[in-house]
Chains A and B, each alone.
Chain A
């Protein structure tokens, strides 16, 4: 069964249609790029999947159910903005995640933090922006979730941090789970993806695999994106 399904999904903010008639289905075991220009509806789709917004019409289902308590238990979500409490230290943050999520793998998180040289008593407040993003990603990826939503995980960080984030995603990847990564930095994530979703003006333009694009068009996803979304 599909882990994520959208059926004729619409989301309107007043007169503005943020998502328009989106129908799609995503299976387990895939890493998917949710790609589109700024304002195309990527974050809206992710917020709908996490129950932070309600559809105007149509349906969005996680593992067959509308977003709610049951889906929160199997979905791990990295929001666009860093949202971890900055007054906590790394240990408190892990306690917090452990309390909230039954699937949190503490030893995996500890190992990754140690690898970065972050001490348990170090306060989030004392960390740089890049380090905070890494710490939040570590928390998100340390859950044994069925579905991960990473909203712009590599925006606004330096290339070395970008590499670290991508390799963290790969090394924590579980073949039973799916990972949805929204970004406009396509060339950086392309090698990590199985499939891509192109969205523009709230509409789904294309759902296909990276290999298929390269095989059929002889170009990278990044090149195809530039062609499709040429200004």
Chain B
């Protein structure tokens, strides 16, 4: 765009330059020929008065030496009758345009016609007409156009080169900024962009750096707050839970015992929520560390299913397509957390249904685990969003509790294991998959 603008401006400037130069040349030529015509007129006064056409012709022939460009000269008397004429030898006959006699000068093609009255004692006694061949004009035109074209090409090349280097310099810095923005939005990691320039892009980069520092600072404060708050919440919760457990042991009367059960169930929910908040805080501050070991996924699946089954009174968890004794290299506790989360979600989001299915299947050097239900499903447009922080499916009725943290934590845990987690869902039911690297056989 900048180069296009430069080319346009250059073209206009060179055109104006050439046109002005030609106009100026023509002006000069008119002035000099008018003067010459006046001189010829003055010299011919006596020849007209004495009707000496030979002398007039002689004067006209003298023009050949004064200005070789003049190819024709005429003197007419006051009645317009031709009195004397001169035609340059070898010159092509060119008709005099009709308006040449009326105007002081006329340009026709590359010819100039100049007329000047012959005045004696304040009365016009005749007229001089000069026809000038502007052969020089063609040369000037050609030279000017060639010069303009050459300068234009040189300027164009020069502006291209400058634009190329400037654009390269600007584009490089802008692309660096764009790439950083993309990385921030994709991974959440940010490194300040170094730029020591003093132009608008530097101002933009400095403003972006400052903004990101503020964002990071506020993110850090928020994450620290979540960490401290979650930790501080756990201490009183320990007392509440412990004393209620004690009370439950002592209390046998109904409905008191039932009330205590309800309170304890909610304490468990609160405990799990605080634990999730702490995990999110760790993910955000990069403190979520894995304790990697080798273990049999088959055993973990059975143990986890048994533990979740114990607390579920509504659903039966069924294992299908068992991949037997597959050894994975992972953080056992964290993978258990992912499984518990997916199983709890499958139960929670399939109210009125009775079964949840778990499958494990070997695929290349990975083990794929599938947890599926016949519940409310996940709309296609939300299948990526559900793995984001605090995201809850729009169609969920408010009585299904949740904070929108579980799948976000699962995604991070699986990602840290170089695995993948995704969901497939039709109109009814959804299937959550995750993959884990298998131990390579020796």
A binds B: no
